[in-house]
Amino acid sequence: MIAITAAALLTPRERIEHPLLLLDGEVIAEVSSRSARELPAGCRCFDFPDGVLAPAYLDIHIHGGAGHDVMQANAEGLSRLELFLAEHGVSGYLPTTVTAPEEQILRALEGLANAIESAAPSGQGVKARPLGIHLEGPFISHARRGVHPPEYLVPPTLARFERFWQAARGHIKMMTIAPEVEGALEVIAEAARRGVCCSLGHSDSSLEIARAAIAAGAHHATHTFNAMRPLDHRQPGILGAVLTDSRITADIIADGIHLDPTVVQLFLRAKGAEAAVLITDAISATGMPDGRYRLGSFEVEVRGNRCTSEGRLAGSVLRLDQAVRNVMQFAGWNLSDAVRLASANPASVVGITGKGVLARGADADVIVLSPRGEVRKIFVAGRINE
C-alpha cells in the first residue's frame, strides 16, 4: 500500500487540508485527513509538504504530441506520446482522428483499438492510457471544416457509422458531428444509443437545428467558438444553443490563440464549473521545436505556438496542465475549479467511470501540483514517475 500526504487535496469538488491518501494497487483505498487516522504500518510513504494532490487529467481531444500523430496508430509513437502526456499530468486520453480517405480512417481506428485493448502498466515508465477514440470528421460541415480536407468530407449515414464502429471494435467514445449535414440527426440518435458522446462542432448550424440535435441525443460541443457559425444577436445559431442550454456541456482550447482571454471568461461564465471542459486539440508538434509536422494526411507549420495550414489554425501545441493554469490567469479561477475542467468534467462527459476524481474505489491516478498548478509528480494506476 502507498500513503501520500500533502498540504491539500482536491477531489476536485472538495478541498481537504492536510490529507492522507491511501493507494492499494491500482485503486484508491481511502481519502481522509492526517488528523483523522494514523499512517498504516508497512506503507510506502510519499510526503509533499507544499504540494496539492488532484485527480490526473483527461484529454478528450488530442491528435498527437512528442512528434507522433495518432492517425499513424503505431505502438512506438503512441508510447512516446503517452510518456509525454504523463509528464504534464494526463493519465488518460482519447486519441482523435481527422478527416481523411475512409480506408485511412478505418486503418487508424483498427490500430487505435489495438492500442486501447493492449494498454496496461509496463516497465517503460509511467504513461497515459488511451481510453477510447474521438472521431472528428468526416461528418462535418464544408462551411466550417477548418483545415479538414474538403474532398474527404462525407454525409453521415448509419452504414458509414457502422463501418467506423466495427473498425474501432466499439471503442468510439466521442464523435464530433455537424448537425445540419443531411443524415446527422439519425446518426446522432443511433450513436447516442450506443453510449457515444455526440459533440456538435465544425458546424454552421442554425439555433433550431442545434436544438433538434440536442433533442436527438447530442450533449456536448467541440472547441466552442472555433469552426462554428459566429454568434449573431438576431440569429444566434449553434452558439446560442451551446451557451444557454443546460443539457449540453462544451469544451474550449484555452491557449490564448484560439480564443481571446475575454472570450474564455465569457464561456466560463456561461457554462460554469459544472459544464465546461478543457481540451488541447494538440497535434504531433506539441513538445517539439518549430517546424513542419503531420496532422493526418496533411502538413502543418508551427511557429511560436501557432499551428497553421494554408493560413488557417490547425490544432495547437497546448498542454492540458498549461490550459488549467491559463484558466486561472484568464478568468481568475481558483486551482480547484480549474482542475475540475480537466479531470472530473471530461470523465463525466464521455462516461468514463473511476477517472477524474479522488475517492475510495476510483483509479489510483493522482497528480501532485504546486499551488500555481505546475505538475510535480504523477501516479498512474498507483505507479509513480520517480
Per DSSP (E only), the strands in 56-208 are 57-62, 64-65, 68-69, 90-95, 129-130, 133-136, 172-177, 197-200
Q: Is 90 helix (H, G, I), strand (E, B) or coil?
A: strand
Sign, CA dihedral 176-181-182-185, equals positive
What's the rounded Cα separation, in Å, for the pair 340 and 10?
Answer: 9
Type of residue at 315: G
For β-strands 172-177 and 197-200, DSSP reports them as parallel
Cα distances from 216 to residues 156, 191, 199, 208, in angstroms, run 15, 10, 12, 12
How far, in Å, CA of 70 to CA of 220, rounded?
23
Catalogue the active-site residues: 281
Q: Encode burial over 206-231: b for 16+ CB neighbours within 10 A, e otherwise.
A: bbebbbbbbebbbbbbbbbbbbbbee
Total residues belonging to the chain: 386
**Rounded distance between C-alpha atoms, residue 172 and residue 165, angstroms:** 7
